[in-house]
């Protein structure tokens, strides 16, 4: 967000950062602490203190929020900064891009909510400003490629996502009409929905309530043909973290993680450096210009799918079973762009 007024006393940091801090102090229900300011603006504690003091000096309406803890928090009451807020073409274009991205990923319910948010923001804009930003928004969207982007897109029924999201928020069990991909049969599965993983294929992450399962599992959203909500509540496993669950795998298939070592040829090393193959990766540049990448994850099949695009420009050093899987599928592709 950008602002229309620049208080003269803001001399310690850039005015846009300080006013952004003031806006976030108003938006934060429980206020912001010095640690919050440090993390949000990537500054040290002394700088965070100067920024806080500058905001408190210029906005005397700010209050200290009683927390009952040692950590102090400050917030600005609702409405104080409303007239300082405006929206730029870049911000609205980013929102439009998010709508297009959600639509392309098959998350139609999210896309609809973002469209509603977009409409509300435009209502808040002065009419002349809204007219001026429209051409810029269209130009940026066209430049980012969303308007004409083609390619495979996952299909998810909107009603399925709506029912599952409600169940995730309410911690209520649901019964899935789930189609077995190999046999084509549809069976009922009672699950505790925890969240979702989106990618080339989209999955529900849920605890499978079945004597032979009783574990957190993945359910392809494309195979969910119906969702029946129940009135039964569940308690999430306290130790379960969706981010940690996802990080165990190279993609979405869940196995016990193992060490993976790939060696990229010198002509592909520069391109490989631009990728984050996995959050745990370690890059080791070699004297001959090659690049070794190490990380811990699972799912040989998904790794093989990805390695195919690198062809003979990558060698699998470990694990041996993955090396054997891809050794006959290393085409000599043209030079990487």
Mean pLDDT of 199-223: 82
What does DSSP assign to residue 333? P
Among the ranges given (21-35, 116-130, 199-213, 284-298), the one the predictor scored with the smallest mean pLDDT? 116-130
pLDDT at 305: 86
pLDDT at 68: 78
Which structure tokens are listed for 131?
A: 């007219």
What does DSSP assign to residue 207? E
pLDDT at 297: 83
Mean pLDDT of 42-46: 89
Query: Percentage of the chain with pLDDT > 70?
Result: 80
User: Where does CATH 2.30.30.530 sit in the chain?
Assistant: 158-247
pLDDT tier at 314, thresholds 50, 70, 90: very high
Pairing verdict, β 63-65 and 224-233: unpaired
Mean pLDDT of 246-264: 77
Q: Evaluate if residue 336 carries a pLDDT over 90.
A: no
Class in CATH terms, 15-84: mainly alpha
Among the ranges given (11-20, 72-81, 188-197), the one the predictor scored with the smallest mean pLDDT? 11-20
pLDDT at 236: 86
Cα 41 to Cα 20, 68, 75, 121, distances in angstroms:
10, 26, 17, 25
Query: What CATH fold (topology level) applies to the domain 258-326?
Result: Alpha-Beta Plaits (3.30.70)
pLDDT at 146: 47
Q: Evaluate if residue 123 carries a pLDDT over 50.
A: yes
Q: Evaluate if residue 184 carries a pLDDT over 50.
A: yes
pLDDT at 148: 42
User: Where does CATH 3.30.70 sit in the chain?
Assistant: 258-326
pLDDT at 62: 87
Among the ranges given (216-220, 262-266, 319-323), the one the predictor scored with the smallest mean pLDDT? 216-220
Higher-pLDDT residue of 336 and 324 is 324
pLDDT tier at 154, thresholds 50, 70, 90: low
Query: What CATH fold (topology level) applies to the domain 158-247?
Result: SH3 type barrels. (2.30.30)
307 CB contacts (<8 Å, ≥6 apart)?
262, 314, 316, 326, 330
pLDDT at 161: 79
CA 284 to mean position of chain CA atoms: 27
Higher-pLDDT residue of 291 and 180 is 291
pLDDT tier at 157, thresholds 50, 70, 90: low
pLDDT tier at 104, thresholds 50, 70, 90: low
* Residue 182 φ then ψ, to 5°: -80, -40
Q: Evaluate if residue 290 carries a pLDDT over 90.
A: yes
In sequence order, what DSSP letters do the residues of 171-192 get, joined into one string?
TEEEEEEEE-TTT--EEEEEEE
């Amino acid at each position: 967000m950008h602002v229309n007024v620049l208080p003269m006393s803001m001399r310690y940091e850039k005015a846009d950062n300080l006013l952004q801090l003031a806006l976030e102090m108003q938006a934060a229900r429980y206020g912001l602490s010095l640690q919050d300011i440090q993390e949000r603006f990537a500054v040290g504690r002394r700088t965070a203190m100067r920024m806080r003091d500058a905001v408190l000096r210029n906005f005397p309406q700010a209050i200290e929020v009683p927390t009952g803890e040692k950590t102090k928090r400050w917030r600005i009451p609702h409405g104080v900064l409303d007239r300082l807020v405006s929206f730029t073409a870049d911000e609205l274009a980013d929102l439009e891009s998010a709508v297009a991205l959600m639509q392309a990923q098959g998350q139609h319910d999210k896309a609809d909510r973002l469209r509603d948010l977009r409409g509300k923001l435009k209502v808040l804009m002065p009419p002349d400003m809204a007219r001026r930003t429209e051409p810029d928004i269209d130009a940026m969207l066209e430049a980012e490629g969303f308007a004409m982007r083609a390619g495979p897109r996952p299909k998810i029924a909107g009603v399925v996502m709506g029912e599952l999201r409600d169940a995730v928020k309410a911690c209520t069990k649901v019964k899935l009409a789930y189609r077995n991909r190999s046999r084509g049969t549809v069976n009922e599965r009672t699950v505790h929905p925890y969240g979702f993983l989106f990618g080339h294929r989209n999955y529900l992450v849920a605890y499978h309530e079945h004597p032979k399962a009783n574990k957190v599992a993945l359910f392809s959203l494309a195979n969910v043909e119906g969702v029946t909500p129940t009135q039964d509540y569940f308690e999430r496993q306290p130790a379960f973290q969706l981010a940690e669950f996802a990080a165990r795998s190279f993609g979405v298939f869940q196995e016990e993680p193992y060490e993976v070592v790939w060696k990229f040829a010198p002509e592909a090393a520069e391109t490989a450096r631009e990728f984050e193959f996995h959050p745990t990766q370690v890059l080791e540049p070699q004297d001959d210009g090659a690049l070794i990448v190490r990380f811990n994850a699972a799912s040989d099949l998904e790794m093989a799918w990805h390695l195919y695009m690198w062809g003979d420009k990558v060698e699998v050093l470990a694990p041996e079973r993955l090396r054997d899987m891809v050794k006959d599928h290393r085409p000599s592709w043209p030079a990487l762009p």
